Amino acid sequence: MISERLGGALFIAGSAIGFGAMAIFGKIVFGSGASTATVLFFRFLAAGTLMVLLMVSLKQPWPRGRDLGTLILMGSLGYAGQSFCFFSALQHATAGLTGLLLYLYPALVIIGSAALGRRKLTIAKMMLALLALFGILLTVTGGLAGSPTGIAFGLGAALVYTVYILVGEGVIGRTGAVSAGCVIMLSAAAVFGTAMIIEGPGYPTALEGWLAVAAIAVVSTVMPIVFFFAGMRRLGASDASTLSTLEPVVTLVLAYFFLEEKLGPVQALGAGLVVAAVVVLTRLR
């Protein structure tokens, strides 16, 4: 039989693969003419439906009062904003660069927590954060191409996600992850559903586009969420977070094989520095 920890590691690896593949599916779906609002509406509708089923099965209470209002804002502004920036970056930059830019958020969370007085910012943490930033600078010098617009959207995704995490730290501790996730996903779905109605739905024009939409909703949202919860239950939050740093590596590898995004020596070094810095920062947290 598979041991508890090995099973947990496999779940987290599966979660990282699912999340890491999202940039690849995004490239495919936009290549088929789908709009950002349409893709993200289906993504969050599927995730919200899953979270409702989980909440009911676990008999979790629905958040109320100020916490409910905060979670709605986290979903409609925070997670929706992060997703919009991420998928917009995919239209102006390579999948590999977009994935790496998003993964600046652990370093930004460390700095933000220190600025808010929640955690002490040590010299080691500051150096690791700077190392991650330096790694990103190396990746944009060649192979992982992106226009200024794409890089700006990628950085915006990391910044918005940082604020989302800092705001949600206390709220999710009070309401529970499943209840909070339910409100957040449904709020994001409402935002993109409204946007889709206003601008008109932009459906894929090819079968592979529809398959990519389904993959984003199931393989890169529903499955990773379930797998991450299952892995975290077996490993604990710290080890689960460390293993989840496989996500940008998965994105880079898949982009190389399926999108022919090449990595030169300098770009590979930069990507390695980002991943290494994030792993160590996660362990320090």
**pLDDT single digits (tens) 140-185:** 665 556 688 998 999 999 999 888 888 877 787 788 778 888 899 9
Reported as a single tens digit per residue, the pLDDT across 252-269 is: 888 888 888 877 787 778
CA 280, CA 242: separation in Å to the nearest integer?
8
Q: Are 93 and 139 spatial neighbours (Cβ–Cβ below 8 Å)? A: no
What's the pTM value of the predicted model, to 2 decimals? 0.84
Reported as a single tens digit per residue, the pLDDT across 193-209 is: 999 999 999 999 999 99
- Which pLDDT score, from 0 to 100, does residue 12 have? 84
CA 135, CA 275: separation in Å to the nearest integer?
9
With CA atoms as reference, report the closest residue to 284 among 248, 245, 231, 229: 245
| Cα separation of the two ends of the chain | 32
Reported as a single tens digit per residue, the pLDDT across 66-125 is: 889 999 999 999 999 999 999 999 999 888 888 888 888 877 887 888 788 777 777 887
Range of the domain at 112: 4-284
Burial class of residue 131, CB neighbours in 10 A (0-12, 13-18, 19+): middle
CA 283, CA 285: separation in Å to the nearest integer?
5
With CA atoms as reference, report the closest residue to 168 among 159, 177, 156: 177
- Give the tokens for residue 50: 């899953």
- Give the tokens for residue 230: 């299952």
- Which pLDDT score, from 0 to 100, does residue 142 have? 55
Query: How many domains are there within the chain?
Result: 1
CA 186, CA 5: separation in Å to the nearest integer?
32
